[in-house]
Amino acid sequence: MEKIIVIGNGMVGYKFCEKLRAKAGKNQFEITVFGEEPHPAYDRVHLSEYFTNPSVASLEMAPRSWYEENDINLISGEMIIAIDRANKTITSHKGTTLSYDKLILATGSSAFVPPIKGVEKQGVFVYRTIEDLDAIIEYSKKTKKAAVLGGGLLGLEAAKAMIDLKQETHVVEFAPRLMPRQLDNAGSDALLSKMEELGIRLHLNKNTRNISGDGKITAMEFADDSILDVEMLVISAGIKPRDELATACGLAVGQRGGIVVNDLLQTDDTDIYAIGECALHKNFIYGLVAPGYEMADVVVNQLIGSNDKTFKSYDMSTKLKLIGVDVASFGNALCENETHKPIVFEDNYKGIYKRINISEDGKRLLGGILVGEAEAYNMLLQITLNGMALPPNPEDLILGSRGGEETKMELPDSAQICSCENVTKGDICQAIVDNGFEDVAQVKACTKAGTGCGACNPIVKDIFNEQLAKMGKVVKNVICEHFDYSRQELLDIIKIKKVKDFDQLLDEHGKGDGCETCRPLAASLLASTWNEMILEKGKDAIQDTNDKYLANIQKGGSYSVVPRIPGGEITPDKLIVIGEVAKEYDLYTKITGGQRIDLFGAQIHQLPDIWEKLINAGFESGHAYGKSLRTVKSCVGSTWCRYGLHDSVSFSIEVEERYRGLRSPHKLKSAVSGCRRECAEAQSKDFGIIATEIGWNLYVCGNGGSNPQHAVLLAGDVDSATCLKYIDRFLMFYIKTAEPLNRTATWLNKLDGGIDYLIDVVVNDSLGIAADLEREMQFMVDTYKCEWKEVVNNPELRKKFTHFVNTEIPDPTMKFEDMRGQKKPVEWGA
């Protein structure tokens, strides 16, 4: 077996292993990888996500077990310090010496630290590894003001991270503009205002002369004699290829660093290759991951015996990954040394700047810049890379066409769509045709497109839709592969054929064994038709986990418990019971946004005991686990409030008790306010009620969450009975006609005729179904039972609340730690 040693277990070193194992025969190579960092290779491109989710596991390119399964000997935490080319061996700092047949240098680069006086001071960091980030996070706990040195792509990313760490954030750039290698002055200006909106303060044209402070940084001093007081500094001034090993063993390196390679990625020793950020190809270091992956591919190709593939210079187009800031540059963005005709669009009001560079002859796109609006990025990049002919009015490319047909351009099959994984449009279309895929996720799993940096996801989706349309496939609104019906059709079947269980539904109207999409959906339909206990008669097998255990599953596998507290009104005695239960079972306790109390961290076997205590004290299930009514929030209303018009608390309790336990396509939230000051925020709810001088205003289809939407008026100045009647009709109509997992707001947005139509149906009974809707709702109200009460009193149902069935012990892997005097689960995978 040929011995391959890889030095460096970064993104490219990892990809090399993955590709070699995938393409080479089983026993062709013995692979050993050395990584100096303690973790297996991780996704450095998404390193900044570590600030919001500090989990190494979710950044890893593959878990350690992957290396084992693929028979790759991974040695982490060991640095190679010498290469002996004569004897073909390498030696690590621990003294390990191994021999190789072929050696792959994938040592990447380190952050470039400019020789400024004082850089060694405490509080000065670079931004490259997980260890760097850990140190920054730790240090930031004591600081309030941070600066980033360098206003390039990475520097801006680091600046956003400083904002996330709650620092007053400054960016210091030597050049007169931001992202000097990608943007022109006008583009930089547009970006500048975007960054300022994020709260980042920018200092251009600043040459840092000294970092001052006694042991630790307290200020930066500039050549123009100005001073910036800061407590922390992150340096992001470029990269320095790690070529020290290569230099020491006599391989050629570039003047400004980098291991010299030819088009086959060979160094001047043909048994040694260099790939990724440490390789200097045609006097160029590629500081991006996609070209590194391509280099890995070229070397793998040679090792398995074909020399037909060489590394050609690679596109350096980039898009900034900051949320809320669209910035991209592609092709020859600045065209500093190329004659061209630029077309520029600027909207200083919205902060948009777009520039495209057209070739002298007006036929080709050379490159461009997009700031503030970058949807066109993928398309423009493709036009540039593929040298596609331009539309008659090239300005349409950045203006969108005004009136008339939209300018849509058909990409050639050879267009490279995903540069991380080198997937072309042809590959994607072929995968769809060959496998009959009808879901983008399948296409992505098969081709790997979009699994790298993710920038190409929108265009992958477009190509997917286009291809399906070409094949004449209408993407019908069916639930999943097991039922050829929409949700509404399935509900009709359940009602008309009086279907009461899932197996019957599947046998008579579906195929296969069901799945995680259709099972909970059918469970919800059955519940909102027959209102039978959801855990009985085998129905537990079709409930989503939360419904199955009548509790919300949380990180680490514990559950939370939410008793109903109608209208948010609670007696001191009941509060004491909640406190006692929480104390006895050591539950993390929090007041929810819906005016009730959530108890977290219960183990599965404790749930029935906890609920027994709560039920004995007069509580009932709060259905926080279900797609069902959550809370009806209320303000204190006319009983106490000097502005109150009606008793909003009493009415909210009446409403909450009427609709408790009702299963619906998604969760339902409601509120009642005692006057139009609206303290209960009823207009952000699925249905909200506000007192008027003479009655109530009923608003529907509001939504907080990720896409906030105000509720709209369904009926004004109605009395309590009419209000309830309209809610009955409204909710039942929603339950019957909504698509799966659509909240009321989304449902209304899709409803033909919108709110006017809804008013017609609910208030004017234009469909003549109002009486049916009311009757069906009344049936639900009359058959309501507290699910937890039934479980607590039923030994059979109680039995399934255990972690193991062959021993009484609880899950030994569940772990908690302390936070502000209460417990919390340890992080994912920690």
Ligand X SMILES: Cc1cc2nc3c(=O)[nH]c(=O)nc-3n(C[C@H](O)[C@H](O)[C@H](O)COP(=O)(O)OP(=O)(O)OC[C@H]3O[C@@H](n4cnc5c(N)ncnc54)[C@H](O)[C@@H]3O)c2cc1C
Chain residues binding other proteins by CB under 8 A are: 57-58, 62-66, 68-69, 441, 444-446, 451, 481-482, 503, 512-516, 518-520, 538, 540-542, 544-545, 548-549, 553, 555-557, 800, 802-807, 809, 811-815, 828-830
Q: Is 614 in the site for ligand X (CB under 6 A)?
A: no
Among 635, 662, 671, 786, binds ligand SF4 (CB under 6 A): 635
User: What are residue 540's phi and psi, to 5 degrees?
Assistant: -65, -25
**Shortest gap between Cβ of 163 and ligand X (angstroms)?**
15
Measured distance CA(162)–CA(136) in Å, rounded: 9
- Answer with the entry of other proteins, ligand X, ligand SF4, none that 800 interacts with (C-beta below 5 to 8 A by kind): other proteins
Contact 717, 694 (CB under 8 A): yes
**Shortest gap between Cβ of 813 and other proteins (angstroms)?**
5
Separation of CA 111 from chain center: 27
Q: Is 567 in the site for ligand SF4 (CB under 6 A)?
A: no
- Answer with the entry of ligand SF4, other proteins, ligand X, none that 315 interacts with (C-beta below 5 to 8 A by kind): none
DSSP 206: -
Measured distance CA(262)–CA(762) in Å, rounded: 74
Q: Is 759 in the site for ligand X (CB under 6 A)?
A: no
Give the largest CA-CA distance in the chain: 97
The backbone region for 664, taken as left when phi is positive above 0, alpha when psi lies in -120 to 50, beta otherwise, is: beta
Contact 421, 449 (CB under 8 A): yes
Q: Is 677 in the site for ligand SF4 (CB under 6 A)?
A: yes
Q: Is 10 in the site for ligand X (CB under 6 A)?
A: yes
Distance in Å from the first CA to the final CA of the chain: 38
Of 216, 203, 228, nearest in space to 118 by CA: 216
Q: Is 292 in the site for ligand X (CB under 6 A)?
A: yes
- Answer with the entry of ligand X, ligand SF4, other proteins, none that 675 interacts with (C-beta below 5 to 8 A by kind): ligand SF4
Residue (473 or 555) nearer to other proteins, CB: 555
Of 280, 226, 233, nearest in space to 252 by CA: 280
Contact 383, 368 (CB under 8 A): no
Residue (676 or 799) nearer to ligand SF4, CB: 676
- Answer with the entry of ligand X, other proteins, ligand SF4, none that 635 interacts with (C-beta below 5 to 8 A by kind): ligand SF4
Residue (428 or 645) nearer to ligand SF4, CB: 645
Measured distance CA(179)–CA(416) in Å, rounded: 25
- Answer with the entry of ligand X, other proteins, ligand SF4, none that 49 interacts with (C-beta below 5 to 8 A by kind): none
Structure token digits, residue 830: 């920690």
Q: Is 45 in the site for ligand X (CB under 6 A)?
A: yes
Q: Which residues pair with 600 in a beta bridge?
A: 588
For the chain, what is the radius of gyration of the CA atoms?
32
Measured distance CA(689)–CA(508) in Å, rounded: 43
Residue (126 or 714) nearer to ligand X, CB: 126
Positions in 640-669 near ligand SF4 (CB under 6 A) = 641, 643-644, 648
Contact 550, 543 (CB under 8 A): no
Residue (44 or 194) nearer to ligand X, CB: 44
Q: Is 18 in the site for ligand X (CB under 6 A)?
A: no
**Shortest gap between Cβ of 80 and ligand X (angstroms)?**
4
Contact 569, 610 (CB under 8 A): no
Per CB under 6 A, the segment of 208-216, 274-282, 572-580, 630-638 that binds ligand SF4 is 630-638
| E strand segments, 608-711 | 629-634, 668-673, 687-691, 696-700
**Long-range Cβ pairs for the range 744-753 (8 Å, 24+):** 744/666, 744/668, 744/686, 744/687, 744/700, 744/701, 744/702, 744/703, 745/686, 745/701, 745/702, 745/703, 745/707, 745/709, 746/703, 747/665, 747/701, 748/700, 748/701, 748/712
Among 111, 183, 679, 786, binds ligand SF4 (CB under 6 A): 679
User: What are residue 332's phi and psi, to 5 degrees?
Assistant: -90, 95
Measured distance CA(98)–CA(191) in Å, rounded: 51
Q: Is 814 in the site for ligand SF4 (CB under 6 A)?
A: no
One-letter amino acid of 571: T
Write down the H helix ranges in 510-549: 518-530, 545-548
**Shortest gap between Cβ of 216 and ligand X (angstroms)?**
24
Measured distance CA(593)–CA(633) in Å, rounded: 9
Q: Is 13 in the site for ligand X (CB under 6 A)?
A: yes
**Shortest gap between Cβ of 313 and other proteins (angstroms)?**
31
Among 5, 6, 8, 561, binds ligand X (CB under 6 A): 8
Per CB under 6 A, the segment of 34-42, 96-104, 421-429, 638-646 that binds ligand X is 34-42
Positions in 243-262 near ligand X (CB under 6 A) = 245
Which string of DSSP letters, residue by residue, matches 454-471? -TTHHHHHHHHHHHHHHT
Residue (342 or 436) nearer to other proteins, CB: 436
**Shortest gap between Cβ of 37 and ligand X (angstroms)?**
4
- Answer with the entry of ligand X, ligand SF4, other proteins, none that 515 interacts with (C-beta below 5 to 8 A by kind): other proteins
Contact 211, 217 (CB under 8 A): yes
101, HSE (Cβ side, Cα atoms, 13 Å): 9
**Shortest gap between Cβ of 503 and other proteins (angstroms)?**
6
One-letter amino acid of 22: A
Residue (617 or 641) nearer to ligand SF4, CB: 641
Question: How many Cβ atoms are within 10 Å of 472's Cβ, its own excluded?
Answer: 6
Q: Is 288 in the site for ligand X (CB under 6 A)?
A: yes
Q: Is 639 in the site for ligand SF4 (CB under 6 A)?
A: no
**Shortest gap between Cβ of 594 and ligand SF4 (angstroms)?**
16
- Answer with the entry of ligand SF4, ligand X, other proteins, none that 678 interacts with (C-beta below 5 to 8 A by kind): ligand SF4
- Answer with the entry of other proteins, ligand SF4, ligand X, none that 168 interacts with (C-beta below 5 to 8 A by kind): none
**Contact characters 87-116, ligand X, x per CB under 6 A:** -------------------xxxx-------
- Buried b vs exposed e over 367-397: b needs ≥16 C-beta within 10 Å? bbbbbbbbebbbbbbbbbbbebebeeebbeb
- Angle (CA) 697-698-704 rounded to 5° is 120
- Answer with the entry of ligand SF4, ligand X, other proteins, none that 108 interacts with (C-beta below 5 to 8 A by kind): ligand X
**Shortest gap between Cβ of 199 and ligand X (angstroms)?**
20
Q: Is 133 in the site for ligand X (CB under 6 A)?
A: no
**Shortest gap between Cβ of 800 and ligand SF4 (angstroms)?**
44
Positions in 792-821 near ligand X (CB under 6 A) = none
Measured distance CA(567)–CA(457) in Å, rounded: 44
Q: Strand order of the sheet with strand 168-172?
A: 124-126, 232-235, 145-149, 168-172, 200-203
For CA atoms 104, 110, 115, 119, the dihedral sign is negative
Among 21, 35, 431, 437, binds ligand X (CB under 6 A): 35
- Answer with the entry of ligand SF4, ligand X, other proteins, none that 277 interacts with (C-beta below 5 to 8 A by kind): ligand X
**Shortest gap between Cβ of 343 and ligand SF4 (angstroms)?**
54
Among 18, 173, 231, 277, binds ligand X (CB under 6 A): 277
Question: How many Cβ atoms are within 10 Å of 268's Cβ, its own excluded?
Answer: 13
**Shortest gap between Cβ of 642 and ligand SF4 (angstroms)?**
7
**Shortest gap between Cβ of 725 and ligand SF4 (angstroms)?**
24
H or E stretch including 561? strand 559-561
Residues forming contacts to ligand X in the complex (CB under 6 A) are 7-13, 34-37, 44-45, 47-48, 79-80, 106-109, 127-128, 154, 157, 242, 245, 276-277, 287-290, 292, 321, 453
Using CB under 6 A as the criterion, which residues of the chain lie in contact with ligand SF4 when the complex forms? 635-637, 641, 643-644, 648, 673-675, 677-679
